[in-house]
Structure 1
Amino acid sequence: MPRSFCIPGVIFLFCAFVLLFIVSVSLPYLTAMDITRVHSANGPTISGAQLAQLRLGIWGYCEYSASGSRTCYHPGHGYSILLGGINSNGISTETIGSSWTRGLAVHPVATVVTFIALLLSFSQHITVTLAASLVSFLAAVITLIAFAIDIALYAYTKDQMNKLNIGASTITGPGFWLTFVSMILLFLAGCTVCFGRRRDRMAGATSSYPMSSMKGGFFSRFRRN
């Protein structure tokens, strides 16, 4: 593949892999890499403790008290949280079920597929570069699915907090946006590698059929053999 196309493709794939890897580590190991955040002065309660902020990650969640202390939990894949709140109607509870967090495990899958595409992109063989392009697009599609799951979790959490009616604000976390950026980078990488392979084919076709030189100028074609 031409170097002008190879280098950007590798860079896009490497950046996407690093971002997806960071997102996949997530909570509780990287407390800042959450998917959805809930915060409020009169926040929700979990097990009777009132929270100032709640962060939801792939493998667990973190609770922040009004004093600033943090407690993180690692329930693992497909966890659920029972939230409570006190409003004008009394005490109410809402649940973020495991069906809304189980799909977050798609992020590590996208990371692995992106890593495979990155390894393939280093090859100069035309068939391997085609495979790198296809795997890049596959990683982009998987990341798109992961991003859709992030959107669903954010929307559902926001809806549940609105039902509690405690004035809590639900926002997207850094992991949400890093997943979106990774998806864009993967689509760019797939297109870059694909264009590089097409340029290779066109260059090969041109070199296979060289134009015969016409010696002697225009009148040489009328010359007798």
Structure 2
Amino acid sequence: MSRKHFLIGASCLGVALFLSLIGSISLPHLTALDYVRAKFATPILSGQDTLSEIRLGIWGPCFYDEHDHRLCFNVGHGYPVPLLTTTGQIEIISGSWTRGLAVHPVATGVIAIAFGFAFAKFESAPLISVLTSVLSALILLIAFAIDIALYAEMHHKVGELHGVKGNVDFGTAFWFTLVELILVLVAAVMVFMGRRAGDSSESYPMFSSPSGGFFSRFKK
């Protein structure tokens, strides 16, 4: 395999793996990494407290009050998110919408496999790395669609709250997913091109043989 293509492909997979790993940890363990967030100009309720922001991660949500104090819950994937107004209206984002976020750790595992095979020495390793990179891209594409669906559902539920002004945005981990998707696709192309370049050079050994190869026969 071409060393240049290998370095580019392996670097892309390494960065994608790192981003995917920390994105898979997400909330509530890494509070800066959420997939969807909602900010409220008009506070809503959570028990006896008023909330100004809600952030959703894979393993649980985080709630922020008017003073930016944070309360996070590690409830596992597939958790419901209740939205309650001061007038008693309640809207619930069901657990089926957050359950799909568990696809992200699956993508992390597949990227790790692709990264490992990129460094393997046996002949078919580059091909396996390309195939697993493409597979991880497909899984990330599914995860990307799930994130957008969750965003749309939260946007819809916030819009249903009467007298509440809220703004729904994508979180940091969502943009990580987009970067990961681009990186694994670039890595797959680089590893494939490197494999082709390596095959081409091996197909014509007579032109690169240290002993002069075929043309040495015609030298005087």
Scaled by the length of structure 2, the TM-score of the pair is: 0.91
CA distance in 2, matches of 1:85, 1:178: 32
Bigger radius of gyration among the two: 1
Q: Is 1:173 aligned to 2:176, yes or no?
A: no
1:202 to 192, 195, 200: 200
Question: What does residue 220 of structure 1 align with?
Answer: none
Q: Which runs of 5+ in 2 are unaligned?
A: none
Q: CA deviation at 1:45?
A: 2.0
Do 2:206 and 2:214's aligned partners in 1 also have CA atoms closer than 8 Å?
A: no
Question: What does residue 215 of structure 1 align with?
Answer: 218
**For 1:125, what is the secondary structure of its paired residue?**
coil
**For 1:64, what is the secondary structure of its paired residue?**
strand
Question: What does residue 155 of structure 1 align with?
Answer: 152
CA distance in 2, matches of 1:215, 1:208: 13
CA distance in 2, matches of 1:12, 1:47: 45
Matches within 5 A, 1:51-200: 51-86=51-86, 90-165=87-162, 166-200=164-198
Q: CA deviation at 1:77?
A: 1.4
Q: How many pairs are equivalent?
A: 214
Q: CA deviation at 1:208?
A: 6.3
Provide the aligned C-alpha RMSD in A. Answer: 1.9
Amino acid at match of 1:79: Y
Q: Deviations over 1:58-88 (max 9, x none)?
A: 00001110022111011111000111124xx
Q: Which runs of 5+ in 1 are unaligned?
A: 218-225
Q: CA deviation at 1:48?
A: 4.4
Do 1:51 and 1:66's aligned partners in 2 also have CA atoms closer than 8 Å?
A: yes
CA distance in 2, matches of 1:167, 1:216: 85
**For 2:43, what is the secondary structure of its paired residue?**
coil
Do 1:126 and 1:197's aligned partners in 2 also have CA atoms closer than 8 Å?
A: no
CA distance in 2, matches of 1:43, 1:148: 29
Scaled by the length of structure 1, the TM-score of the pair is: 0.89
Amino acid at match of 1:105: A
CA distance in 1, matches of 2:98, 2:174: 13
Amino acid at match of 1:200: G
* Identity fraction in percent: 39
Query: CA, structure 1 residues 207+71, in 2 after alignment: closer, same or farther (shift >3 Å)?
Result: same
**For 1:51, what is the secondary structure of its paired residue?**
strand
CA distance in 1, matches of 2:219, 2:156: 82
